[in-house]
Structure 1
Amino acid sequence: MKIPGYSDFYTSLEHCQNCSGEMTKSSNIPKNWRYAPSVYNSRVSSVIPTPTSVRRPKGVYFKDGIDSEPVYGPSRKLDFELEMGYFVSQPVPFGKTLNISNAKEHIFGFVLLNDWSARDHQLFEMRPLGPFHSKGWGTSISNWIVPLEALDPFSCAPNTKQDPPPFDHLRWPGNNDGALDIKLRIKLVRDGKEKQLGTSNLKYLYWTPYQQLTHHAGSGCGMETGDLIGTGTISGSGTDSEGRKTELGCLYEAERTKTDVLPKSANYDGYLEDGDEIILEGWCEKNGKAVLGFGQCRGQITPAQ
């Protein structure tokens, strides 16, 4: 599948709640976020298959917190993002829009997706225009596309009710089948030892893939066969018996919510170290047993050059 375009969404309510504040200078979710799916264009050249390694990027960051002295160097806050991606099958011609009732006909299938992020570089870039190098230097995907037809039996209602109700053109016409129940897991391999970092589920998204695709095509920009759409980080609200969050989709959320996911070190302060490998896994269950899998999306961090 040749990828002509790649766009990435920001549509998990829990992810947005966990991240609000430092990047946006606001503790509240912007009003526009609940009225239409948030999305930005990204790089195709840096979409890579499993298990390609990713090199720690260099960029500009604030040395001692926001608006302190900027410096240039390797990222000290290298992060993963637990996402899924889906490929456009049937194109939408330039100048035309997409009826949400036909959205399924334009999706070939889904992959696991890790949109690697340099959070310190992102903090420097976010104002006034938004992220650039911090989000565009590497995006790993799993190697097998699971067709939408295979996922139909796992259709379900979204986990979160949309409030306010979506505009008519983004309202799913089906009955409690506008989302997909796909279980997700994040694992870290460090020094040869494997550790689970968290779990999630695709159905947690506030804006579903069908709404995302309809919104993306809504300007008349046109969609091409092979276009890759990232769902955005998929986080949940789950906690363990001690009240610790267990469904964080990235390490930045762990920092913002003061959740210990990785041990802090002098150089990386709870973020990924050189040599770390991140593995994303996804599967669908029937009667409590896995019956369909997505393989793995994995990538290992190599030192900056």
Structure 2
Amino acid sequence: MAGCLLSSCQVTVHRRCSFFNKNGESKPHFQISRKMKFEIELGAFISRPVLHGNTINAKIAADHIFVYLLHNDWSARDIQAYEMPPLGPVHAKGFITTISPWIIKMIAYQSSPGWGLNTGDLTGSGTISSPAPEVKKGLGTYGCLLEVVAQKHKLPAVGGKPMSWLEDGDRLTIEGFFTTADGSKGGFGGLSSVVVSGPS
């Protein structure tokens, strides 16, 4: 996990290397990922633990949350496609998580199996997609780059070139805000990252 607590912070994200099949090849090779993607999530840090074997309900879940934050659950999609059957994502999702500089879900569901939660644990909501005037049937409103690609949604050009998977040198900034009942706005600060080639 990597994160920062300064509003000017920018995280460097190194592409993951692992085994996967490329261009229809039958044999996997150890190589660098070319299909890096983001997943916009809401995260929360746990303050009061939920002991192993115990559960809590939604009415008291907020008592166990220290703060909320923006959370980017990075993935290397080409590696993930190879790893999923039968292992699940290991190298594809286990290389970096970035969080917003200031940290402002429902914990009840996370505690329901009785596994416990510890002080300092970071939880993520899963991909949050934003409302949009036109939504194609299927995966929703593009809170993650895979949704965009799967829906064949055309993204705006970046630097005069069409955008698809994240390229080396791409800077991704995620910002989020909320409006209170009295109309005031609060935010999480920008979560900014630059993709570079190869492991650090």
Indicate whether the TM-score tops 0.5. yes
Q: Which residue of 1 aligns with 2:110?
A: 216
- After superposition, the Cα gap between the structure-2 partners of 1:97 and 1:273, relative to the gap in structure 1 and judged at 3 Å, is same
Pick from 109, 127, 130 the counterpart of residue 88 of structure 2. Answer: 130
Name the count of aligned residue pairs. Answer: 191
Q: List structure 1 segments (4+ residues) > 3 angstroms apart after TM superposition.
A: 239-243, 286-290
What is the match of residue 12 of structure 1? none
Task: Give the whole-Å Cα distance in 2 for the aligned partners of 1:262 and 1:78.
Answer: 18
SS in 2 for 1:110: strand
Match in the other structure for 1:298: 192
**Structure-2 residue corresponding to 1:103:** 61
Aligned match for 1:60, one of 19, 27, 36: 19
Decide whether the 8 Å contact of 1:239 with 1:246 is kept in 2: no
- What is the alpha-carbon distance in structure 2 between the residues aligned to residue 288 and residue 96 of structure 1? 37
Determine helix, strand or coil for the equivalent of 1:53: strand
- Could you say which residue in structure 1 is the equivalent of 2:142? 248
Give me the whole-angstrom Cα distance separating, in 2, the residues matched to 1:242 and 1:137.
Answer: 31
Query: Deviation at 1:236?
Result: 4.5
Q: 1:288 to 1:56 in 2, by over 3 A?
A: farther
- Point out the structure with the larger strand share: 1
SS in 2 for 1:59: strand
What one-letter code is carried by the residue in structure 2 that aligns with 1:47? A
Paired AA for residue 105 in structure 1: D
**Aligned sequence identity (%):** 38
Local SS of the residue matching 1:224: coil
Give 1:68 deviation, angstroms: 3.3
Aligned positions of 1:89-100 closer than 5 A = 89-100=47-58
* Letter in structure 1 aligned against 2:57: N
Partner in structure 2 of residue 48 of structure 1: 3
Q: Are residues 128 and 98 of structure 1, via their aligned partners in 2, closer, same or farther at CA, if it must alter by over 3 Å?
A: same
Structure 2, unmatched stretches of 5+, are none
1:283 aligns with 2:181: no
- Among 66, 71, 74, which residue is 1:113 paired with? 71
State the alpha-carbon separation in 1 of the partners of residues 114 and 81 from structure 2.
32
Name the structure with the higher helix share.
1
**1:287 CA drift (Å):** 8.1
**Can you list the C-alpha shifts for 1:198-235, whole angstroms capped at 9, x where unaligned?**
xxxxxxxxxxx22xx22321232221111100111112
1:106, distance to aligned residue in structure 2 (A) = 0.8
Structure-2 separation of matches of 1:269 and 1:227:
35
How far 1:284 sits from its partner (Å)? Answer: 1.2
The Cα RMSD (Å) is 2.9
Which segments of 5 or more consecutive residues in structure 1 lack a partner in the other structure?
1-45, 147-208
Q: Deviations over 1:17-59 (max 9, x none)?
A: xxxxxxxxxxxxxxxxxxxxxxxxxxxxx23324221111111
2:30 and 2:157 mapped to 1: Cα distance?
Answer: 25
- Separation of aligned partners in 2, 1:56 and 1:299: 12
1:116-265 aligned at under 5 Å gives the runs 116-146=74-104, 209-210=105-106, 213-236=107-130, 238-240=132-134, 247-261=141-155
